[in-house]
């Protein structure tokens, strides 16, 4: 459970750094995401999740 909470905290820290360092690019990325079809966003989400799971698996084993 502590690893999960640490991962959530790291996610928020990285997201916060991106918003603080690159606010214009972040807004542009959100605009592009709003214009993308749901299926493309879903596939990007699944792909990101799989990459994340693979990275965690590599680190843990």
Report DSSP state, residue 1. Answer: -
pLDDT (tens place) for every residue of the chain, 61 residues total: 888 999 999 999 999 999 999 999 999 999 999 999 999 999 999 999 999 999 989 998 8
What is the C-alpha separation between 9 and 14, in angstroms, rounded? 9
To the question of pTM greater than 0.85 for the whole model, the response is no
Where do the domains of the chain lie?
A: 2-60
Q: pLDDT value at position 1?
A: 86
DSSP conformation letters of 7-56: HHHHHHHHHHHHHHH-HHHHHHHHHHHHHS-HHHHHHHHHHHHHHHHHHH
Q: pLDDT value at position 8?
A: 95
């Amino acid at each position: 459970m502590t690893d999960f909470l640490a991962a959530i905290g790291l996610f928020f820290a990285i997201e916060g750094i991106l918003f603080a360092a690159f606010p214009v690019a972040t807004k542009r990325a959100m605009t592009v995401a709003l214009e993308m079809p749901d299926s493309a966003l879903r596939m990007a989400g699944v792909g990101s999740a799989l990459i994340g799971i693979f990275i965690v698996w590599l680190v843990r084993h």
